[in-house]
Structure 1
Amino acid sequence: MLDHIGLVVSDLERSRRFYLAALPPLGIGVEMEVTAEETGGHAHLGLGTAGKPFFWVSGGAAASGPIHVAFTATTRAAVDAFHAAALAAGGRDNGGPGLRPHYHPNYYAAFVFDPDGNNIEAVCHTPA
């Protein structure tokens, strides 16, 4: 089981705006922030649910290459809302909401690129 994941972004404030707009349809929001003064390095933004940050976005130089992160959505409507919110926040489309039966018959997902080119997905595995 995955406890948390983190990625380094080139502009933390730009990424903050993007994720704070794109992730609320999935029930994900800011759970913790750590300042550069506290770390002696870069600031970190911890996003998650129910008091538990599990998706960390950190300032600094961009990572060596894009990564892929998939968030679980409880409904197909939440996948649709994530995609719309992410595009409105400046994300680039990487595959609109829809079934991906080549993964499995109920794999309903949407993909966007965040401001640093990371492939961010929302997926619902529940039948319609």
Structure 2
Amino acid sequence: MIAYVTVGADDIARAERFYSALLPKLGYQLEKYHGDLSYILPRQPGQSAAPPDFYVKSPFNGRPASAGNGTMIAFEASSQQKVRDLHAAALAAGGIDEGQPGFRASYGPQFYVGYLRDPHGNKIALFSSNPDDPGRDG
């Protein structure tokens, strides 16, 4: 089980503006620690394992932050509308569009996804597979 994911950022204030435009709407709570950002999902009653945390930090080695080639972090939303709303909010908060929300032919008929990059180049996916939303073929 994944315990946490960390991305590097050279400008924490810019990263906070971007991630705070979408992660709290997915249930994450922001905690700041020594200038870094920790987005935490609260543990639900009866939940056996904690969901993974998401950290935004200045690189420990003091070198510039860089995005991993081929690395992507996906966040699940509750509906297609939520994906659209979050994608728009992330773009308004400094993100870069990497693919408007919609269905992709190479994925299942319920997989609705939008792609973007954060201000530091990290690739982010926002997706929903809600069976109550219309599917690609319907």
Q: Determine if the TM-score, normalized by the shorter chain, exceeds 0.5.
A: yes
Runs of 4+ in 1 over 2 A off after TM superposition: 22-29, 63-67
Q: For residues 59 and 70 of structure 1, what CA distance do their matches in structure 2 show?
A: 21
Q: For residues 67 and 103 of structure 2, what CA distance do their matches in structure 1 show?
A: 31
Letter of the 2:119 counterpart: P
Question: Is the CA contact (8 Å cut-off) linking 1:101 and 1:107 kept in structure 2?
Answer: no
Identity of aligned residues (%): 37
Q: For residues 115 and 64 of structure 1, what CA distance do their matches in structure 2 show?
A: 10
Question: Which structure's residues are more often helix, by fraction?
Answer: 1
Offset at residue 86 of structure 1 (A): 0.5
Q: Is residue 46 of structure 1 aligned with residue 30 of structure 2?
A: no
The more displaced of 84-93 and 43-52 is 43-52
- 2:89 aligned counterpart, secondary structure: helix
Gaps of 5+ in 1: 36-42
Offset at residue 8 of structure 1 (A): 1.1
Query: Number of matched residues?
Result: 120
- Residue in 1 that maps onto 2:74: 70
Query: Highest Rg: 1 or 2?
Result: 2
- Residue in 2 that maps onto 1:86: 90
Letter of the 1:58 counterpart: K
Q: Is residue 25 of structure 1 aligned with residue 25 of structure 2?
A: yes
- 1:98 aligned counterpart, secondary structure: strand
TM-score (norm. length: structure 1)? 0.82
Letter of the 2:74 counterpart: A
Q: For residues 25 and 127 of structure 2, what CA distance do their matches in structure 1 show?
A: 12
Q: For residues 17 and 58 of structure 1, what CA distance do their matches in structure 2 show?
A: 14
Offset at residue 81 of structure 1 (A): 0.9
TM-score (norm. length: structure 2)? 0.77
Gaps of 5+ in 2: 44-49, 134-138
Q: Is residue 106 of structure 1 aligned with residue 132 of structure 2?
A: no
